[in-house]
Chain A
Amino acid sequence: MTTRAAPAIVPNFDDDATTGRKLAIICSKGTLDMAYPGLILANAALGEGVETHLFFTFWGFDMITKSRMNDLKFTMLGNTATHLPQGIGGLPGMTAMATQRMKKQIAEVGVPEVPEFLEQIVASGGHLWACRMSADMMHLTQDDLYEGVEDIINAADFIEKTAGAQLLFI
C-alpha cells in the first residue's frame, strides 16, 4: 500500500548540526590491526562533515613515518582473538604470514593501505598532527614524516586545537 505525503519528503542532511562538531583521534599504536580503527572513523567523520584531527604518538608514529608506514605488521602473539595456540604465533615467519593475510583481507573489502588511506583523509579535509615528544625520542624530523602531516606539535597544542572536540584514544 502506498501513502501520499506532502510536503515533499527530502532527506535532512543536517549540515548545520555538524558545523562546529569536532572529532579528535589519538593514534598510539603501530600495529597493522590497530592502525585501521582510527583511520576508518576519521574517514567516516569527514564524510559526515565533521572537522577531524588525528594526533600520532608513540607507536602510532609508525603510521606516519615514511620508512615504516608501508610496513606495519600484525602478530598473533598476545592476541587471543585469533583463537589459535599462542605458541604458533612465535614460530619464525608467522608474523609475516599473519600480516600478509590481514592485508589481503583488508584489500578484499576495498579498504586502502595506510599511506593511501592517509592521503584520502587529507583530501577529505582531515588534519594530521605528529607528537613532539615522540619525534624527539625517535630522533625524527618533519622530513621523515608523511607529507600530509601538518606539523609536529606538543600535547598542549593538540589539546588547544581540539577545544570542544569529542575524543578517541586508540
Chain B
Amino acid sequence: MPVTTIAGRDIHVDDEGFLAAYNEWDPDLAKQLAAQIGIELTDAHFKAIDFLRADYATQGETATLRRVSTLGGIPTKELFTLFPKKPAKKMAYIAGLPKPHGCV
C-alpha cells in the first residue's frame, strides 16, 4: 500500500490516492486534502464530510450522493456547488474514505 506525504504527514493511500486508513484522517488533514484538489473547506463542506464519516463508520461503505442528500439532508444542488463536477468522489476523497461503489 503506497504511503504519501500531505502537508508533512505520511498517510496510507490506495493507488489513486484515496485514503486507505480511516483513522489517519482528521479535520486538519481534510483541509489539506481539499487544497490538493482546489477546494477551500467551509462549515457547509464539513457538514457533508461529517455525515460521510459517520455513515461510513456504521455502514462500512461510502455513501452515494443520493444518500448524502436524502439522509444527510444536504440538497443535491448544493453538493454540486460545494464539490464541483464530481461531488461524490471529491467528498469521499476529502473525507478520507474510498470512492463510493453504489450506482445511485
Partner of A110, one of B4, B67, B77, B93: B67
Asked, given contacts A4-B3, A6-B5, A110-B66, whether A15 binds B84 with beta carbons under 8 Å apart, the answer is: yes
Indicate if the CB atoms of A120 and B103 lie closer than 8 Å: no
Answer whether residue A88 sits at the interface, using C-beta atoms and an 8 A cutoff: no
The chain B residue sitting closest to A120, CB to CB, is B76
Answer whether residue A40 sits at the interface, using C-beta atoms and an 8 A cutoff: yes
Partner of B36, one of A5, A8, A110, A123: A8
How many chain A residues touch B (CB < 8 A): the figure is 28
Partner of B37, one of A6, A13, A112: A13
Asked, given contacts A47-B65, A47-B87, A120-B66, whether A5 binds B103 with beta carbons under 8 Å apart, the answer is: no
Answer whether residue B27 sits at the interface, using C-beta atoms and an 8 A cutoff: no
Asked, given contacts A112-B104, A124-B80, whether A9 binds B4 with beta carbons under 8 Å apart, the answer is: yes
Complexed CA–CA distance, A4 and B1 (Å) = 9
Which chain B residues lie closer than 8 Å to A163 at the CB level? none
Answer whether residue B31 sits at the interface, using C-beta atoms and an 8 A cutoff: no
Indicate if the CB atoms of A2 and B5 lie closer than 8 Å: no
Complexed CA–CA distance, A112 and B65 (Å) = 13
How many chain B residues touch A (CB < 8 A): the figure is 34
A7 to chain B, nearest CB (A): 8
Which chain B residues lie closer than 8 Å to A18 at the CB level? 85-86
Indicate if the CB atoms of B12 and A2 lie closer than 8 Å: yes
The chain A residue sitting closest to B4, CB to CB, is A9
Per-residue CB contact flags for chain B residues 1-41 toward chain A (1 = under 8 Å, else 0) read 11111100000110111100000000000000000110000
Per-residue CB contact flags for chain B residues 57-89 toward chain A (1 = under 8 Å, else 0) read 000000011110100000111001000111111
A–B Cβ pairs within 8 angstroms, 29 of them: A2-B3, A6-B5, A8-B17, A8-B36, A9-B2, A9-B15, A9-B17, A10-B4, A10-B17, A11-B89, A12-B16, A13-B37, A13-B86, A13-B90, A18-B85, A18-B86, A40-B104, A43-B104, A47-B87, A47-B88, A48-B85, A48-B86, A49-B84, A110-B66, A112-B66, A112-B104, A120-B69, A123-B77, A125-B80
Which B residues fall within an 8 A CB radius of A? 1-6, 12-13, 15-18, 36-37, 64-67, 69, 75-77, 80, 84-90, 93, 102-104
